[in-house]
Amino acid sequence: MSKHVAYIALGANLGQREKNIAAALNALQHTKGVSVDTVSSLFETDPVGGPPDQPAFINAAAKLTTELAPHRLLAVLLQIEQSLGRRRGERWGPREIDLDILLYDDLVISEDGLSIPHPLMHERRFVMEPLAEIAPAAMHPTLALSAKEILDSIGSLSLD
């Protein structure tokens, strides 16, 4: 079975935020075919989008080595979210846990329900800061920029 490198974003702004992120990482570590290699620091950030007055988020990023194909990894992440109390409601609304695939090897996938690289990652400091901490040289396959370069350019990057 071949090994793949995936980077995921973790976020939580309801309940015990740090505990929810730790529980998600623990569930991933105990998933057959997944190894959690590196985890960033926790970053507290203001919510972006969504309803006003929602609590601040705790965000992190993790590097995984996995034998799971991208669709299977996504299914695992969704199952972990559900097991930790995530209920899909308002777009960008408050949540117990949010797990997103940011990068998976150098794949580019654009399908209903699965977009790799994550379509908004390059616009979001709360995603790029933890990612650049653990993988500054990780390359965005369509922008041809490293995580550090993207972080340094947030606010000035346009895809037009």
Q: Which residue has the higher pLDDT, 123 or 90?
A: 123
| From 17, 37, 95, 125, the catalytic residue | 95
pLDDT band with cut points at 50, 70 and 90 for residue 89: low
The percentage of residues in the chain with a pLDDT greater than 70, rounded to a whole number, is 90
DSSP character for 93? -
Predicted pLDDT of residue 92: 52
Predicted pLDDT of residue 158: 47
Based on the residue annotation, tell me whether 98 is a catalytic residue of this protein. Answer: yes
| From 17, 86, 106, 112, the catalytic residue | 86
| 4 sits in which H/E element | strand 4-12
Contact 24, 97 (CB under 8 A): yes
**What's this model's pTM, rounded to 2 decimal places?**
0.91
Predicted pLDDT of residue 159: 46
Distances (CA, A) of 138 to 33, 117, 128: 22, 12, 11
Domains and CATH numbers, the chain: 4-153 (3.30.70.560)
| From 53, 100, 124, 152, the catalytic residue | 100
Which residues fall within 8 angstroms of residue 61, CB to CB, at 6 or more apart? 7, 8, 9, 10, 39, 40, 102, 127, 130, 131, 133, 134, 135
Based on the residue annotation, tell me whether 86 is a catalytic residue of this protein. Answer: yes
| From 72, 98, 125, 160, the catalytic residue | 98
| 21 sits in which H/E element | helix 17-29
pLDDT band with cut points at 50, 70 and 90 for residue 129: very high
Which residues fall within 8 angstroms of residue 24, CB to CB, at 6 or more apart? 10, 80, 81, 84, 97, 99
Degrees, nearest 5: CA angle 153-158-160: 160
Q: Is the pLDDT of residue 140 over 50?
A: yes
| 79 sits in which H/E element | helix 70-83
Predicted pLDDT of residue 54: 83
Mean pLDDT of the chain: 90
State the average pLDDT over residues 80-94.
72
Contact 12, 97 (CB under 8 A): yes
Judged on CB neighbours under 10 Å (0-12, 13-18, 19+), 41 is exposed
pLDDT band with cut points at 50, 70 and 90 for residue 156: low
State the average pLDDT over residues 53-76.
95
Q: Which residue has the higher pLDDT, 85 or 104?
A: 104
* pLDDT tens string 8-41: 999 999 999 999 999 999 999 999 999 999 999 9
Contact 99, 80 (CB under 8 A): yes
The percentage of residues in the chain with a pLDDT greater than 90, rounded to a whole number, is 75
